[in-house]
Amino acid sequence: MSVKEETVGDVLVITMPSRLDAVGVAAIETRLAEMLQNHKGKALADMSGVDFVASLALRMLLTNLKDVKPLGGDLRLSGLQPQIAEIFRKSRFDKMFKIYPDRESALEAYAEA
């Protein structure tokens, strides 16, 4: 289980694994932080393939968002499945992250910023 990364323009796009449970988070947490710290800019977590999210995953995403902001970066999310979007709404994480329906609209929003 790993994350895939690619750069689209000046945006680091990270494709998240399907399960962000304790095992999934442990497998990617360090690598994700390294990618974001090294990039120091616009980042997008493509969550379109994620079908399970544990509270640990929410904490990991929030920690990374807080870590990249002082570096002038941002971490946005795209492609949340309905059940994942509901978890973000209930935990109010939808107020902390900019969330887009798909990768294309997120990249367009970054381009306009």
Tell which residue, 15, 25, 94, has the closest CA to residue 53. Answer: 25
Tokens describing residue 72: 């002038």
Check whether domain 4-112 has CATH 2.40.50.100, yes or no: no
Residue-level pLDDT at 82: 97
Total residue count of the chain as it appears in this document: 113
- Residue 4 pairs in a beta bridge with 15
Output the pTM of the full model.
0.95
Q: Are strands 11-15 and 74-78 parallel, antiparallel or unpaired?
A: unpaired
Cα(16)–Cα(97) distance, rounded to whole angstroms? 16
Residue-level pLDDT at 2: 78
**pLDDT of the chain, 113 residues: tens digit per residue:** 678 999 999 999 999 999 999 999 999 999 999 999 999 899 999 999 999 999 999 999 999 999 999 989 999 999 999 999 999 999 999 999 999 999 999 999 999 87
Residue owning tokens 């947490």: 29
Residue-level pLDDT at 5: 95
